[in-house]
Structure formats: structure tokens, C-alpha cells
Structure 1
Amino acid sequence: MKKLKVVPNPENPEKLLDLKYTPAKTWAAGIPAVAAAFSDLIEEKIPFRGMRALFSMNQNGGFDCPSCAWPDPDDERSPIGEYCENGVKALAEEATSKRVTEAFFAENSVVDLAQLTDFEIGKKGRLTSPMFLPKGGTHYQPISWDAAFKKIAGHLNALGSPNEAIFYTSGRTSNETSFLYQLFAKEFGTNNMPDCSNMCHETSGTALLPTIGIGKGTVKLDDFYQAEVIVVIGHNPGTNAPRMMTALQKGKDNGAKIIAINPLPEAGLMGFRNPQALNGILGIGEHYSDLYLPVKINGDMALLKAIGLLLAREERRTPGLVFEQEFIRQRTSGAEDYLAQFENYKLEELAVAAGLAIAEIEAAVEILAHKKKIIFAWGMGLTQQPNGVDMIREIVNLLLLKGSIGKPGAGVCPVRGHSNVQGNRTMLINEKPTLQQLDKIRDVFGFEPPRAHGYNVVSAIKAMHKQDVKVLFAMGGNFLSATPDTTFTAEALRKLRLSVHVSTKLNRSHLVHGEEALILPTLSRSDLDIVNGVAQFISTESSMGIVQSSKGILKPVSDQLLNETHIVCRMAMETLGERSVVDWKAYADDYDKIRDVIEKCIPGFENYNERIRQKGGFYLPNAARDGEFMTGIAGNKAAFTLSPVPLNLLSENEYLMATTRTHDQFNTTIYGLEDRYRGIKNERRVVFMNQQDMDRQGFKAEDKVDLFNFDDGIERIARLFLVVPYAIPERNVVTYFPEANVLVSINNVVKESNMPASKFVRIQIRPHQAVVSE
């Protein structure tokens, strides 16, 4: 009898651990957050090294947290620690004592490493030397830096066109490196610069730029303290931006009402125990949400329309007391058409589409109707919906009715993810640079940059798949695990002639590679960066437009690490040689010179080197924050827009799936296996289901199931998941990424922004069937 074995999956290993689940929590943080955070320092065997770094993280003159982009306070910072649980975990990951050495790669083949989970791969430790995988090779092998740059230059210069190369950027890259990176790509001859914004908040910028004249948020931290109403929609601050909880607490202490809108009743939306306050230590929680609305997946548009409809009714009943009529007349365009649309909507139908009772929507309107200082804060629960651009514009519509943009305590707040993802875009990491930006590069440097738009993430994957792209250079990140349609993307990566990843730690993208592959180890945010005997500092931009310095303090784990700026400069010198007109050597030797030239190219950076040395840094200009809407509409008015409400019909056996991350995770970096607030421990391959849906399909808790998607007529399968009952709207399910990314079609994208619509995936759920081979 022949022995059968489970077919391995190097893109997404299908293996279960030992699921344990308990009831979901109704509050976030508290002492368990402190304990969980510092246990990571112990696990990574760096209690003293880690604590030393934490005293410097997010402090004036210290280094910027490598995790989220939530801003630091403008005034005094906490002497106990200006960081959250996930910030400690991020620091532990990069300051770890564990090392991935040349001997490790000699002992472990690429195929063997690919069978590990993303969690297991990431826990191997920091990379210590550049590594090369030759064509047909089974193991990465050591390579010198000089040879690595010659290899890259050889591939780039052999291309038939510069557009056969892609230069990807992760959000952790500094302003200085980002500017040089895009400068190299342009001098090389391409605008193929996809970045992580293409997967998180491209939708926000696409929605905001034409409506209020800027593609960023318009609020400061102080606005949260002054707000009368804060609406948190499509975002879970307890996990995704825990330091936001403190801002919400201060706002609530000052009288703000908080409305939480999300399919899942997340702990961070329900309550908060501040671990730096006596009440939090004693276990006394702050009840956050004055109103929680458990909207259906993609029911947000129907809810926002219903709120607009009811506000319009209330304004007709009490003229001038609900809308800011003078603001609407003087500062906006299109209000009449926006208000006229409500003749075509019925409240009852909108409530059904939202999955809410009319009374719940009326309760939200009662909170909003007579308030003017209103903030809407959102995350990828909106931006990764197919109509995400429309929904954010609908938020803008509501704020314009209230005159709630461009005044203290009011505005829009897209909660950005990775630290400096916003700074990357400011530094011209953009596949669609404007003509003005390109003209400035030409005038300052003396070469003609390419004018054609390049590839974003989705179009880049398709181009690799068609072999229109031969080389991928990734400045940070975990490209495969972050992107959609895992099998399709893996096929695309394997068609490359060369894949290059600048990384601090091993990840799955190193193991699903081109014909040849390079891993280039770099310094982390907390590492000392010594250039010519002088400790350098970099700069980053927070999600609220604050630019501040960041200076690492820890001894690097290896003397073979290069900082990202040197990697860019040496690649440029080796690739471009004498045909370059840029003084790359000068920029590699002195970061001040990089900032001097940034000042010449990018508005808002006047006296950059002087202001970046000021305590707390400086704010970039934000016209909308100041009440000026640079939209180009006559008189520079903010724009009301019209958008439809989607039908979202499902067949009898279909569900709408949204992917999310655990509390023990940041982007694709998995710190541990405990999603503490949702009660999930020691497992990631779970699907959260409504109990009635489980009963309807005959599923019991912890049943093994397979998940199927059939977009584009292609069968996509995510095998071996465990069913977990959860308080979630019927016909909606939630899974974790990257495990469920395989189900997100490369063509399932957000209209206009072309982002993956990972929060809106039609799936079927069937009892698990193991796939075996002889």
C-alpha cells in the first residue's frame, strides 16, 4: 500500500497548532498589556538591551518607534514610556539577540524554510550578512557587498528598458533614504515605484485630494482633546494604533462622545485601562464607546447615507441649527445636488443594507446633529473596500455639512499604519509623480526624469506575471505576504530574473524568489548608524504631518550591516557609473546634505536641517487644516460628491469575508500567537462566524473547513481553517492575513485607487478535505 502525504504549500503552509479560545474581552490594555509587552523582551533575551532602548523610543532626541505612525505628543512625553504594547514588541523583534548567520543558511535549504509558518520564519532572528541564491541553487550562500552591488547593476543594465525593473518601498524607510531611492529610480529611467501605501491608504489620498485639496489627514492630537464627537469607523485602535487610545481617553475626559462603527465588537472600541494611570493599574476601565454600531461588511455606505438623510430632515425641522449654512455657501461646491439625492432613498432600505436597526442610526444622528467639532477616524476597514474611495468621500460630505473641517477639534483622520509610510509619499515615493514634482527634480539635478506613470502594487504583480518586469528591488517589507492572491503573486515572483530584498529579518519573500535572489541586511530603526565616525540621525513623518528626527542607540548585531542610504547610494554608483549627474558619494557620507537637497525639491521643508534639530520637529503645511481647500474648484472650494449604495447580494452559500490582523501582529510581522482581545490563542488559521450561520451549515466550534473564492472564474482555496463562533453580522466572516490572502483576487480592487479590496471577498465555506499525493 502506497503511503500518502499532505501536499506542502511553500507560499502558505497549511498546518494547525493547538487552538484555545475564550470569550472576547470588552476592554483593552491594562496590566496584561504591560506583561505581554515585556515578556517579549525576555523571550528575545534582551531585558537590559531592550529596556535601554525603550527609554529612548519616541522621546525627543531618541528614535522613532518602528511600528505604527501615530504621532508623539507635541508637549511633554511620558517619563514612564511613550510607547504601547505593540511598540515594545516591535522593538523586541529588531533588538533581539537571535541571529540568522551564514551557517544558518548553509544548514537550512530554501525549500525547508518555506515549510515554516510566517511566525516561525520571523522568530529566527536578525540577518547578519548579505546572502545570494544562484539560479538553480538550494541554499543561500554568502556574498560580499561589492559583489552584490555588481550583481544588481549587471541585471539592471542588461534590461531592455528601465521599466522592466520595479523598486518597491516599505513604510519603515526614512525620509532621507526614500528621497534618494526615488531619485535613483528616476535617474535610472522609471517611475515603477509601488509602495505599501498602494495596499493601505491609497484609497484615502484618492478620496481626499480632489475633495479637500490634500491627500492626508487634517487633524492634530490636540484636536482629539477638543472634539465634541469622535467617530471611529473601520478601525480597531486597541490593536492597530494602541497609542490612539490615550487620545480618545483625553477627548472623552473633555466631554467628547465616541461612536464606534465596525462589524466586530473590538475591545479597543469598548473600553480602555490605561496602564500608565492608577485607575488602569487597579483594573478600572474607561468605557469608551457611547454608541457601538455593528455594521455589516460594506454596509458603511448605507449607514453614512442614512445619517446624511436624517441630518437633512433635522435641518429642515430646525433650520440653521444642524448644518453650517454659511460654511456650505462660502466654502463648498455641490451641496444642492448632494442633498437632492435623499429624495431617492428610504431610511428603512438603508438600515437593512447597513445591517442596523433604525433606532441605532437615529441614536448616532442624535449625537451628531447639534455638534460641530467632529472627527472621523478610519482605517483599512474602509480603505480596503471596493467602494472605499466613495465611502471616504461620503464622510467628507457629512463633515462639510457640519463645517467640521478646518476648525479646532474637527476634521479627517486616516489612521496610517507603518511608521513613515506617509513620509515615503511626501518624499516622492509615488508611481504617479506630478509634473511639478518632476520639473523640480529636473531643475535641481539636471537630468530629465521619466514622465510616464509607473506600476502600483497590483499592476506590478500583473506585469511580473506577464514577464514585462525582470527585476524586483524591495526596500524593506515582506512583498509576498503583504500582497493579494498569494498563489498568483508567487508565480509572478518566480518569473523574475532577480529579486532583491533589503531586510532586517528573514521573511517569506526571501523564500519565494526569482531565478536569482539577494538578501541585503540593513540597520534597524533602533541601531546606531555610524558614518565616517559620526553618529547619524534620520527623519520620519507621522500620520499627522509631524517631521521629527530619529537616532538609534543600540550596537548593531553585525558589522556587515549597511544602512539603507548607503545601499541606495552604492547601488546607484555601481549601476549608473559615470552617466550619473548626482553626487551619490556625498549623500552617503553626510545625511545633512540629503536634507539640504530635499529642502530644494519638496515644499514645506525650508530650513530642514535647522528645524529637524528642534525639540519635537515641525509640522508640514496643511492647507485644509487651516481651512483652505486647494482643490482647483472655483474659489478653491471643498467638493460634495455623489456615490451609490452597493447592493451586495450574496448567493445562498456565499459569505462576505474581511481579513484582519491579530493583536500579536503588525502588518505581516507576527510577534506571537495570542489574539488576546478576541480570545484566540495558539492558532491563526481560524474563521470567525456568526453562530446562526454555523447552525445553518451544520458547523460546530473548531470544525475544520476549507475556504473558497471563485472570482474571475478561478478556484482559490485556503485550506484547513477552524471555525470559531463570534459576535459578527450574519453572512459575514473574518479571517487573519496573510493566511487568507490567497482568497483575494488580484482583480478584486478598490475603484479608482486600485488597492486590493481585502475587506470584501466573496467566499464559500466547506468541510475540510485534505489534499494528498502518492
Structure 2
Amino acid sequence: MARRVTFRPYAGPAGGWGSARSVGTILARENVLASGALLLTRHNKVDGFQCVGCAWVKPAQPLPFEFCENGAKTVAWEITNHRCGPEFFAAHTVTELLDWDDYHLERPGRLTHPLRYDPDTDKYRPVSWGTALDEIARELRASRARDPKRAVFYSSGRCSNEASYLYGLFARLYGNNNLPDSSNLCHETTSVALPESIGQAVGSVSLADWGHTDCILFFGQNPGSNSPRMLHPLQEASERGVPIITYNPLKERGLERFTNPQSPTEMLTTRETRISSQYHQVKTGGDLAALTGICKALLEREEAGEAALDHAFIAEHTHGFAAFAAFLRAQDWDDLVRRAGLPRTAMEATAAVYARARATIGVYGMGLTQHRAGVATVQMLANLLLMRGNMGRSGAGICPVRGHSNVQGQRTMGVTEKPELVPLDRLGAQYGFAPPREAGYTSVEACEAILRGEVDCFVELGGNFVRAVPDRSLVEPAWRGLRLTVNAITKLNRTALIPGEISYILPVLGRIETDRQRTGIQSLSMEDTTGCVHGSRGMRRPASPHLISEVRLVAELGKRVLEPNPRVPWDEWCDDYRLIRDAIGETYPDTFHDYDRRMWEPGGFQRPLPACKREWHTKTGKANFLVPGSLDEDPDMPEGGHDVLRMMTLRSNDQFNTTVFGYDDRFRGIKGTRDVILMNRLDIDRLGLADGAMVRVETVANDGVRRELPGLTIVGYDIPVGCVGAYYPEANVLLPLWHYAVGSMTPAAKSIPVRVHRMDGDAARTRHGRPQATLQP
């Protein structure tokens, strides 16, 4: 049935009745209106289950309904009563399904049986677990004999700490550190930038700090859609009179105003809380210049006689300030204004408010990390906080907002391509083997290796890898050349429909489902964005008796692929997950001692974060002021050419990562479609286009590859001149694989140079699964 497409500005706040209606709609659509509503009362509660969506903080004293609109959607999506069983796959070929969009691929519901791709019929057919695991193990053993580096073990941020620990151990016993994960695609920039600045790879802010701050600086993060529970501490801060200063290319409703759905008074009176006190629409790719301008304005206030810097902190706790101050003095205001796309007064106004604040939190998201100069940009925010001693102080610090629910926890557990982040000596002694020391593949490097034909096997523990990565129109054909692809997932996605020579879909338990093993129902744990570790209990009957847990899946592969090792008790670990947590405590004794008890503490238990105590685990032994080599956030952006625009990828209010819940983006006023490009009306006019016109977007890159996405409709929007926006993951076809953050290899999805061309008459739209990207002759 055709969808009605409309573009109409949204007048309401974030939250409010719009949020309430959206939650009710998806619970009804998934046929879990009553049971889902009851289950949500245990969401993010002690002795309940932890959110399967974002990684925002789980408080020690939760609200009666400690969930948000998108959290409720992820719950409904997982506990749906719809099923995607063998009869579905008998009715549809893979070729047919490749023409379905992301929403309709997941819409049939939860996968129920293990499946093997049959190339003769082009269909997935049910298979027994024993048959599947035995063949997968044979292929992994054969690849290992050829070269252990030819297998890749990817995982998404939904995996529990327990499954992640076993997965990392399995890969290293196999013989490599090829453990790319979803962090590579989003916050790897943080993991590279912050250790150099403050000596730790995660933020320094606790939930308690939000109650003591008197200034919040916000950069490139959209809490209204991506982490709505964050709006509660933001609302409380605003009501205390705390200035909240936002830098973001788009006016996001969650950073403008909020009506608390849990407040009867606000819902009945439709009262709204103002969130941002200043809102600066920085140019896409202009954050580094804007942050430099704020730092420069702060230094100028100090040199004009105002006490704007914390000299005692700088002298005792930092290194490199003199060089940094010289760098700031050398910057030209006209250049900063041009690069930031903001007037000088905007940056000076921010500095003026910041200079008066006692304790400031700096918040950021992928709007900073997904740029070519993302590492330098995050470090510039750290510089700004260090100038006034806002690190290791109550109510202050740096706060990267992670996306997927346990993307940080799996890194803590050793799912990383960086061997230096894992206690390999201790791991080797614990399990009696010599761990590999060579760095593994990042997600981008895994794609590059696949394109070179250097990978045989790709095992995916959760996620939708091919749909999420750049240049997928080049990656997809190469993916078909893999010998083995394994998709351990809960719902059908596009990656599973691009089979290698041998391809399996392995349906696993979701976090909300009860996981019964020989010793009884098991519990899991995960880590939130502030480094607090929480327990989680599954509470819903599994979608199918044929599902197994991710823990058991990894263990079964370990038994079949690896040599017997009496120190690696796969069966015992499967029977009792407490034994896995004991093993984790042995590997990481300083952090995970008494793990099984502490994970049930209200608010979770806090990982040691040295910077919070002003202990700096850096090469200098202090926090470092770091000077960027250049203020050019995107050296690949062509100079000149009035028709070249900067494109940023966006997520809608109706999606989580590559999961699309529907076609409406309520806050942006877009209904019934995702095939749009947001443009400033001045750009529409000067390029001879028209609001509502259908266009083709092409990447500007001199690498011999033609990347284009036709069939997008122009929506005139409040976005900076020279900038455009399109939805992720559809627009990933426009993102070159080599276009990533220097130092972290995080895809630079927030600043892609593009041109927009009108499509005339009956020009055909691309089919959803088949964007156009071809090698130029």
C-alpha cells in the first residue's frame, strides 16, 4: 500500500503527548500492548532488565517509568509477537528480499530457527543446530590452518559483558585480534582522543555531576531521538537556571524544549521546559574552528584582566599550555568565523558564560567523532575544559554519549582490535596460551581486507555490518566472495541477505528473554556510558524454543574449533554464567572483583576512572593540552566550486542505528518517507533547484569510483548554508571507505562532499536495497 508523504514543521516539544502516542502505537503494532506495558515497568530497574537501546546512565533511584520513547520502541521490537520462521523463507527468495527496505525486512518479527543459505533455490532453509555448528567449525578450522588472520569476529554493542568476554577469548585462542565492533563506527575517535588528553578512553562525568553542574556545553548530539532519558537531567538543570549552550548544525527539538511525559501536570497543561539557553547552528565540519574560537575568546578575556583561567590547575595538573596558548593567539578571527560558519560574537558569548561558571560539563556525540579531524576536535573540547580546571571536579568533566547499550562494556571485556588494551600477559597465564600480539582489523580495515580478498570467514555476533559500513556498494559484491558468513541475530537484516559461499543465520536470545541453562535462569551484565556496570535479568519467554544464548553459541564454537584446554571450561561457563564473571574478575581484578554481587548495586558499580581523581595516565603524567596540526576538519573537501555541499548523515526519531521503526521523523516534520535530502532554501534557489523536487546526489571524490544516490526529495530546512542532510544508513553509499577520522578510522559520515542534481521527468528511483555506485571507466 502506498504511503502518504508529507513535510510539515513540527510545532510540539520533545516528549509530551507525541512521545506517549508513539510508544502506544508501536506496542500495539507489535501485538504487545498489555504485556509490553507491564514489562516496561522493569526497564532499567535493579533486578530488572537493562535497556537494549542506548547506553545512557541507569540511576540508583530510577523513575517509576525509567524508559524513553526510543527505549520503549527497542523493547517492543524485541518482544514482538510476530515471527519470521521457515515458512517465511520458503515463500521468499533472497533476491526478492534484497529489494525490501530495512523496515520491512525486520517487520516479519523474530527469527525462530537456524537457517542455511541454499544457492540452488536462492532461499534460506532450516537446519539443525548441530549441523550448523559443525560446518561453521570445519570452515573456521580450515581458514585457521591457512592463516588465523583470515577470519574476522565482529560484534555489535548489544552483546553482554559475559558473551563479549568469551568472544574476545575465543578469537585470541583462535590466533588473532580481528575483533572489530560497532565502536569503530561511532566513538572510536573518543577511544583515541581522550587517552592522549586525560589518560582514559571514557568520559569523566557521573550522573551525580549533573546535579552539581552550573554550565553545560553541548556539541553534536541529539538527545531527543538518540538518548531521550538524558532530557530529564537536562530539564532539571534548566529549571535550576543552568545555562545550556548548544552547537549543532540542526535545530533539534530535544535541545530546544521538552515536556516530561512522566509529569501529570506538564502533560495536562502542556507546559514546556526550555533546554538550550544559547543555540548556535555551526556549519557541518565547523566544530573544531568553533571550539578553537571559544578557547581563544577565553584566553583573550584572561589577558584583558579577567580571571578566566584556572592557573593553579593548569600548573599542577597539565602539560603543554604555553604552546596551546601560542597557537590560540596565532589564530585569525576571520578564518575561525569562516570555518565555523558562525559570527565571532557567538563564540565570545559562549566564552563569557563559561568563564563565569564554577563547574562545566562538556557533552558530545557523533557530530564530533565522525569527521576527518574528529580526534583533534574531541581534544579541543578537552582543552577547553582543562583551561578552567573542569576535569576531576564535582559537576564537571567530559561526557561522550555512547550509542548502543553495551558498546562500551564489550570494549572493557576485550572486544578490541588493539592488543595493548587487553591484559594479554594475564590472559595467557590464566588460560595457558600465547595470545597474539599483532593488531587486528578495525571495521574499516576489515572491509579493506575483504575487498583485497584476504578474508575467508566473517562471524557477526549481532549487528548489521554491511548495511552500517561505508562504500557498501563496493563492499557488498566483495562480501559474496567470502567463504563463510555467519549472522547471529534476532531479526532479519540486509547483511544476512548477502551470502558468502556458505552462509548461516543463527537466531539468538534477546536480552529481555529468560536464559535458562543447566543451573537455572542466568543473568547478564553491561556497562553504561559513564562506566557503571549493571546486572540484567531476562523476563520474557523466548520467541522460539530453537534459540540459544550468545554465550552458548560462542562456547559451542570454542569446543568445536579449538583444541581442548582444561583451563577453558566452555561447558561449565554455559551452565553457570557466574563462573564467567569469576573468570572476568581474575582477568581484571582491580575492576571486577566480587563481580556477581556488585553488579546488582543500585546504579551499578563504577569502573575506576583515574581522571575523576585527577590522576593522569598519560605519557607526561599530566592532562595534556594538544594542538591540532590544522583547523581543516575535512581536508578532502574540495576548495571552490559553489555547487559542492557538505552532507551529514542523520538518524530519524523513528529508528535506532540501522533498525528502522517506521517512516516518520516527527521532530523534523517528515512523514511517510526516508528518501529525502534536507537543504537550506538559499542553496535550493542558488543551485536552480526546487523544494519538493526529486534529485540525485553524488559524492565528489577523485578516486575513480562513482557514488550516487538517486530518488531523494528536497525538503527545504533550517540547516546552515552549504550543508545538507540525508538519512543513515541509506546514504552510506555516498561515504567513501577511506573518508575516515585521522587516527581512529571512524567513518567521517558527518561531512561528505556532494553535489545535488535534479532528476527530470520519469527518471527512475533507485530500489531501496540497490543504490548506484560503480567504477568509472
For normalisation by structure 2, the TM-score amounts to: 0.95
Confirm or deny that 1:641 pairs with 2:626. Answer: yes
Specify the code of the residue in structure 1 equivalent to 2:593.
E
Question: Which residue number in structure 2 is paired with residue 664 of structure 1?
Answer: 654
Alignment match of 1:481 (pick from 467, 472, 475): 467
Question: Which residue number in structure 1 is paired with residue 442 of structure 2?
Answer: 456
Instruction: Find the residue that maps to 1:244 and give its secondary structure.
Output: helix
Instruction: Find the residue that maps to 2:270 and give its secondary structure.
Output: coil
Question: Which residue number in structure 1 is paired with residue 740 of structure 2?
Answer: 749
Confirm or deny: 8 A CA contact 2:680 2:722 kept in the other structure: yes
Q: Distance in 1 between matches of 2:611 and 2:578?
A: 30
Provide closer, same or farther for how the CA distance between residues 26 and 327 of structure 1 changes in structure 2, counting only shifts above 3 A: farther
Instruction: Find the residue that maps to 2:254 and give its secondary structure.
Output: helix
Q: Distance in 1 between matches of 2:422 and 2:15?
A: 46
Question: Which residue number in structure 2 is paired with residue 731 of structure 1?
Answer: 722
Instruction: Find the residue that maps to 2:423 and give its secondary structure.
Output: helix
Confirm or deny: 8 A CA contact 1:163 1:189 kept in the other structure: yes
Deviations 1:654-699 (A, max 9, x none): 1100001100000000111110000000100100000011111222
Q: Distance in 2 between matches of 1:155 and 1:134?
A: 17
Instruction: Find the residue that maps to 1:72 and give its secondary structure.
Output: coil
1:249-264 aligned at under 5 Å gives the runs 249-264=235-250
Instruction: Find the residue that maps to 1:523 and give its secondary structure.
Output: coil
Specify the code of the residue in structure 1 equivalent to 2:743.
E
Specify the code of the residue in structure 1 equivalent to 2:744.
S
Specify the code of the residue in structure 1 equivalent to 2:550.
E
Alignment match of 1:305 (pick from 262, 286, 292): 292
Question: Which residue number in structure 2 is paired with residue 222 of structure 1?
Answer: 208
Q: CA deviation at 1:768?
A: 2.1
Confirm or deny: 8 A CA contact 1:530 1:536 kept in the other structure: yes
Question: Which residue number in structure 2 is paired with residue 6 of structure 1?
Answer: none
Confirm or deny: 8 A CA contact 2:114 2:126 kept in the other structure: yes
Confirm or deny: 8 A CA contact 1:654 1:762 kept in the other structure: yes
Confirm or deny that 1:276 pairs with 2:259. Answer: no
Q: CA deviation at 1:133?
A: 0.5
Alignment match of 1:699 (pick from 680, 689, 706): 689
Question: Which residue number in structure 1 is paired with residue 707 of structure 2?
Answer: 716
Question: Which residue number in structure 1 is paired with residue 771 of structure 2?
Answer: none
Provide closer, same or farther for how the CA distance between residues 309 and 104 of structure 1 changes in structure 2, counting only shifts above 3 A: same
Q: Distance in 2 between matches of 1:492 and 1:368?
A: 50
Instruction: Find the residue that maps to 2:487 and give its secondary structure.
Output: strand
Alignment match of 1:174 (pick from 129, 149, 160): 160
Confirm or deny that 1:328 pairs with 2:314. Answer: yes
Q: CA deviation at 1:254?
A: 2.6
Q: Distance in 1 between matches of 2:25 and 2:422?
A: 50
1:274-423 aligned at under 5 Å gives the runs 274-281=260-267, 282-319=269-306, 321-423=307-409
Q: Distance in 2 between matches of 1:370 and 1:123?
A: 51
Q: CA deviation at 1:582?
A: 1.3
Q: Distance in 1 between matches of 2:170 and 2:695?
A: 48
Q: Distance in 2 between matches of 1:253 and 1:652?
A: 44
Deviations 1:302-346 (A, max 9, x none): 111111111111011225x21000000010000000001123212
Q: CA deviation at 1:632?
A: 2.8
Question: Which residue number in structure 2 is paired with residue 9 of structure 1?
Answer: none
Provide closer, same or farther for how the CA distance between residues 454 and 672 of structure 1 changes in structure 2, counting only shifts above 3 A: same
Q: CA deviation at 1:435?
A: 7.3
Instruction: Find the residue that maps to 1:350 and give its secondary structure.
Output: helix
Q: Distance in 2 between matches of 1:579 and 1:543?
A: 35
Question: Which residue number in structure 2 is paired with residue 591 of structure 1?
Answer: 577
Q: CA deviation at 1:423?
A: 0.1
Q: CA deviation at 1:26?
A: 6.1
Question: Which residue number in structure 2 is paired with residue 77 of structure 1?
Answer: 62
Confirm or deny: 8 A CA contact 1:233 1:260 kept in the other structure: yes
Q: Distance in 2 between matches of 1:596 and 1:393?
A: 36
Confirm or deny: 8 A CA contact 1:169 1:194 kept in the other structure: yes
Confirm or deny that 1:552 pairs with 2:543. Answer: no
Confirm or deny: 8 A CA contact 2:177 2:418 kept in the other structure: yes
Deviations 1:590-611 (A, max 9, x none): 1000000100112311111221
Q: CA deviation at 1:372?
A: 3.1
Q: CA deviation at 1:533?
A: 5.5
1:749-768 aligned at under 5 Å gives the runs 749-768=740-759
Instruction: Find the residue that maps to 2:45 and give its secondary structure.
Output: coil
Cα root mean square deviation, aligned: 1.6
Q: CA deviation at 1:700?
A: 1.7
For normalisation by structure 1, the TM-score amounts to: 0.95
Question: Which residue number in structure 2 is paired with residue 11 of structure 1?
Answer: none
Question: Which residue number in structure 2 is paired with residue 98 of structure 1?
Answer: 82
Q: Distance in 2 between matches of 1:343 and 1:173?
A: 47
Confirm or deny: 8 A CA contact 1:705 1:721 kept in the other structure: yes
Q: CA deviation at 1:380?
A: 0.5
Specify the code of the residue in structure 2 equivalent to 1:727.
D
Provide closer, same or farther for how the CA distance between residues 16 and 345 of structure 1 changes in structure 2, counting only shifts above 3 A: farther
Identity of aligned residues (%): 38
Q: CA deviation at 1:578?
A: 2.8
Alignment match of 1:108 (pick from 70, 88, 92): 92
Specify the code of the residue in structure 2 equivalent to 1:723.
I
Deviations 1:204-251 (A, max 9, x none): 110001110000010011111211111110111101110111011122
Instruction: Find the residue that maps to 2:363 and give its secondary structure.
Output: strand
Provide closer, same or farther for how the CA distance between residues 436 and 232 of structure 1 changes in structure 2, counting only shifts above 3 A: closer
Alignment match of 1:126 (pick from 99, 106, 110): 110
Confirm or deny: 8 A CA contact 1:372 1:403 kept in the other structure: no
Q: Distance in 2 between matches of 1:548 and 1:60?
A: 8
Provide closer, same or farther for how the CA distance between residues 689 and 16 of structure 1 changes in structure 2, counting only shifts above 3 A: farther
Confirm or deny: 8 A CA contact 1:134 1:515 kept in the other structure: no
Confirm or deny that 1:613 pairs with 2:613. Answer: no
Alignment match of 1:195 (pick from 175, 181, 200): 181
Specify the code of the residue in structure 1 equivalent to 2:186.
C
Q: Distance in 2 between matches of 1:26 and 1:433?
A: 48
Q: CA deviation at 1:274?
A: 0.6
Deviations 1:71-106 (A, max 9, x none): 1112x2112x10000011001101101000111111
Q: What count of residue pairs does the alignment treat as equivalent?
A: 754
Confirm or deny: 8 A CA contact 2:644 2:700 kept in the other structure: no
Q: Distance in 1 between matches of 2:121 and 2:197?
A: 52
Q: Distance in 2 between matches of 1:713 and 1:578?
A: 49
Provide closer, same or farther for how the CA distance between residues 598 and 354 of structure 1 changes in structure 2, counting only shifts above 3 A: same
Q: Distance in 2 between matches of 1:410 and 1:553?
A: 37
